[in-house]
Amino acid sequence: ETRPSFGKPEDQRPSYCKTHKRQGMVDIVSRRCEEPGCETHPKFGKPEDQRPSYCKRHKRQGMVDIVHRRCEEPGCETRPSFGKPEDQRPSYCKTHKREGMVDIVNRR
């Protein structure tokens, strides 16, 4: 079952999903970049922020991607792909993977 996220810009509640939205309807559920006129989903904020406020194009100085996980190696900013074979989520990047870890993002 798909949840609605589209409605008229002035609506308080969404009434249609992306597949069945009517002409002129917009996504009124998902957050958008705070840059005026930008419709991109934000992924950047201050390291201590709970919610992102800007997209990559409009991020401010000192902002980082706070949506995606980072390698657990201190100081590494790379997105992880490696973990133990039984893990659901990766914890280390290729450079910092531990012995016995496998690429669990791009399983073959």
Read off the pLDDT of residues 20-73 as tens digits, 9 standing for 90 and up. Answer: 999 999 888 888 999 999 989 999 999 899 999 999 999 999 999 999 989 999
Does residue 108 register a pLDDT over 80? no
**Residue 30 confidence (pLDDT):** 87
Average pLDDT over residues 69-83: 93
Domain boundaries, the chain: 1-29, 31-67, 69-108
Confidence (pLDDT) at 39:
87
The pLDDT score that the predictor gives to residue 80 is 96
Per-residue b or e along 33-72, where b marks 16 or more CB atoms closer than 10 Å to that residue's CB:
bebeeeeeebbbbeeeeeebbbbeebbeeebbebeeebbe
